[in-house]
Amino acid sequence: MIIIWIILILLFVSFGAIVFVGAPYVPSKKNDASQLFSVLNLKKGSVFVDLGSGDGKVLLAAAKAGLKPIGYELNPFLYLISKIRLRKYPKSKVVWGNYWSADLSKADLVFVFSAAPFMQKLYDKFKYQLKSGALVASYAFSFEGIKIYKKIEPINIYKF
């Protein structure tokens, strides 16, 4: 019985506490990610960064599109699922950690599915860290007052 309680507490901490750092786990649709990569037509080997990569579905779609995916995930269970999902793609990388400390200077495309309260802070991070011409794909949320470069419903794409 104690083991069950420990597991439940770990699950609560892993999933519940993350709300205070970014956003709770809500999976993106695999087809949306595939469509994103198809429409943007990035060069093979372009660096794709997923902030809050969850179960790795979007990272896997990026790897299959020939991109170099890097994911940041704070939840240890989702991190492990991502590692397993991407095991056949040696150029992929999943970091167990907070995406606020991620270095985005080499990113060609950043994907984020965050909560509305964090969008301004993310925009400030992108403005400071992204190279000129880098793209940001925001799933379902937008940056207030910032012009959308392209829209692939429900994804807003911004050029920095």
The confidence band for 17, taking pLDDT boundaries of 50, 70 and 90, is: very low
Whether 114 contacts 140, CB under 8 Å = no
The pLDDT score that the predictor gives to residue 22 is 53
Mean pLDDT of 21-33: 61
Closest to 139 measured CA to CA, from 54, 32, 66:
32
- Quick one: DSSP state of residue 156? E
Mean pLDDT of the chain: 86
**Residues 63, 69 contacting (CB under 8 angstroms):** yes
Pick 25 or 136 by higher pLDDT. 136
Which pLDDT does position 41 carry in this prediction? 86
Confidence of residue 140 (pLDDT cuts 50, 70, 90): confident
59-64: which pairs have CB atoms within 8 A and are 24 or more residues apart?
59/85, 59/86, 59/92, 59/94, 60/85, 60/86, 60/89, 61/30, 61/33, 61/34, 61/37, 62/33, 62/37, 62/92, 63/89, 63/91, 63/92, 64/34
- pLDDT given for residue 112 in this prediction: 94
pTM, to two decimals: 0.82
Return d(Cα 126, Cα 110) in angstroms, integer: 9
Full set of structural domains in the chain with CATH:
2-159 (3.40.50.150)
Question: Is the peptide bond prior to 24 cis by the omega test (within 30 degrees of 0)?
Answer: no
Span 50-98, pLDDT tens digits: 999 999 999 999 999 999 999 999 999 999 999 999 999 999 999 999 9
